[in-house]
Chains A and B, each alone.
Chain A
Amino acid sequence: MKKTEQPCCGGKKEKEEVSCSCGGEQKEIKKYKTVYGARKIAIGAAFFTRVPAAPRVVEIIGDIVARFGFGRMRYAVEPGLYAVGSPDKNSVVLVSANYKMSFNALRKELKGVSAWILVLDTKGVNVWCAAGKGTFGTDELVNRIAKTSLAMITAHRNLIVPQLGAPGVAAHIVRKESKFKVTFGPVEAADIKQFLAGGMKASQEQRTVQFGAIKRLEVSLLEFGVTFRLLFLTAAAAVVAASFTKGGFSIASGFANSAFFLGAITIALISSTLAPALLLPYIPGKMFSVKGAITGAVFSAAYVAAARGMTPLTGVSLILISTAFASFVFMNFTGSTTFTSLTGVRREIAVSVPFQILLLAAGAALQIIDFVHKGGIKWN
């Protein structure tokens, strides 16, 4: 891939390139989210928006909802120049993405600081992912500097770009095209105050992307939300189907008849998302498909062991299907992590998918044999 052609949602795309476009075609965001307490201020022909450093409670709730993936692709603020505190022509300029969670994460670290925030149009995507796509990129940064008349507002020519913006922003090209000098700041917004106070120096640790238990749990909520929606429909269909009894339609018996199945689905949801994400370093295997398979197998085996009155065929079938499911779903967690490479993921898929299909097919075959054997599906 050429350096200037990062995988980009709206832009150029080379053949066979793995492009990440966040839910299919990148939609134009028509309506930006409100930033509470924002006030537009004009200076000559240019203007900026003054915002409070602290997001309101409703905005913090908005962040949590987006974590689960609900309305995530529309969770964007308007690109442009923002002010926190009372910045003047000598104040620092921090560059951010227009994903509202990114914007909130930065401004809440700026309590008591006067700074400019230059928000790029990343189509509502966070800094790191947008940098990978090129939307948090050299061209957008250079254009946004011009559009906001930043050179008229600041006396200096310095920008602080988050380090994770570096896959999209070429500092030497920004300087050539805009005269602004890019300094890469720390990975986390939480370290920005220290960075500013400490003479624009970040420690090795602040320059390293971390993936501790809390971070893993946070990002796994997305996979949880996506999988939940998928399984919810399956569960609802099962309840409805089980509600047709000899005595007529009854939702209560629907729930009673499908209770075992609903439990199995809950186990599948947890064992394919939250559990392996949290236990990531402790589960054997390097591939996510292996880690997911182990979690899926252990959880479903425990569930089968705890349940009563089930034929061995149903039990084994359930374990096989759960293992295949967790293996496949958790493989997709690679995209949420901080230490996987595209080349590695390609290898993992090539090796894992045949096994996943085999497990699923074996599980389905046992289920059919069981069905024929019993003359109908009886989960209980």
Chain B
Amino acid sequence: MELKYLGLNTLEYDEKKCTGCGMCEIVCPLRIFRINGKKAEITAKEKCIECGACSLNCAFGAITVDSGPGCAAAVLASGLKKGSKAACNC
């Protein structure tokens, strides 16, 4: 059974910058990208977990995502202690 979350994320893709190298297709652990012809395309944006693998490995700056841990403990800790280090269990 496929697990789904809220479908909220900051993934953005600029097709004009894409060279079709295929790195995003390789690194995405949710298999969101697919090379179609000479360009990558996003097949299921709602699945993005904002891990940042695609944008870090896109040598052409075609992908941006505000990456970070999808972890409530980390969010709560960083929200409660602004400016100090957040704690999480990952």
Chain A residues within 8 Å of B, Cβ to Cβ: 1, 3, 6-7, 9, 13, 15-25, 69, 125, 128-129, 131-132, 163-164, 166-172, 184, 187, 204, 207-209, 211, 222-223, 226, 280-282, 286-288, 331-332, 334-349
Contacts and interface: CB of A to CB of B under 8 A. Distances in A.
A343 B90 contact: no
A343 B29 contact: no
Chain A CB within 10 Å — which of B10, B50, B51, B89 has the most? B89
20 contacts: A9-B85, A15-B83, A19-B68, A21-B86, A21-B87, A24-B87, A132-B69, A166-B27, A167-B51, A170-B57, A207-B29, A223-B89, A281-B1, A282-B1, A331-B72, A332-B73, A342-B68, A342-B71, A344-B8, A346-B75
Given A23-B87, A24-B85, A345 B71 contact: yes
Contacts of A223: 89
Nearest to A333: B72
Contacts of B89: 22-23, 69, 222-223, 226, 332, 335-336
Nearest to B64: A3
B56 interface: yes
Contact of B70 (A166, A281, A282, A342): A342
Contacts of A280: 3
Contacts of B72: 288, 331-332, 334-335, 345, 348-349
Given A172-B59, A339-B3, A348-B6, 16 more contacts: A19-B86, A21-B87, A22-B89, A132-B52, A132-B90, A166-B57, A167-B56, A334-B71, A336-B90, A341-B49, A341-B50, A342-B75, A344-B70, A345-B71, A346-B75, A348-B72
Interface in B26-76: 26-27, 29-31, 47-53, 55-57, 59, 66-76
B78 A19 contact: yes
Contact of B88 (A22, A172, A288): A22
B56 A208 contact: no
Given A21-B88, A207-B29, A341-B9, A132 B57 contact: no
A354 to B, nearest CB: 14
B57 to A, nearest CB: 6
Given A19-B86, A25-B85, A343 B57 contact: no
Given A25-B85, A208-B30, A349-B75, A1 B67 contact: yes
A25 to B, nearest CB: 6
Given A170-B56, A347-B8, A349-B75, A1 B70 contact: no
B31 A208 contact: yes
A315 to B, nearest CB: 29
Given A211-B3, A281-B1, A335 B70 contact: yes
B31 A340 contact: no
A343 B10 contact: yes
A307 to B, nearest CB: 31
A346 B29 CA distance: 21
Q: Which 3 A-B pairs have the closest CB atoms?
A: A335-B71, A340-B70, A166-B53
B8 A132 contact: no
Contact of A208 (B3, B6, B29, B51): B29
A7 B53 CA distance: 13
A164 B29 contact: yes
A7 B1 CA distance: 31
B26 A287 contact: no
Interface string B1-23: 10111111110000000000001
A140 to B, nearest CB: 14
Contacts of A335: 69-74, 88-90
Nearest to B82: A16
Contacts of A340: 5, 49, 70-71
Contact of A132 (B10, B68, B79): B68
Contact of B47 (A172, A334, A339, A342): A339
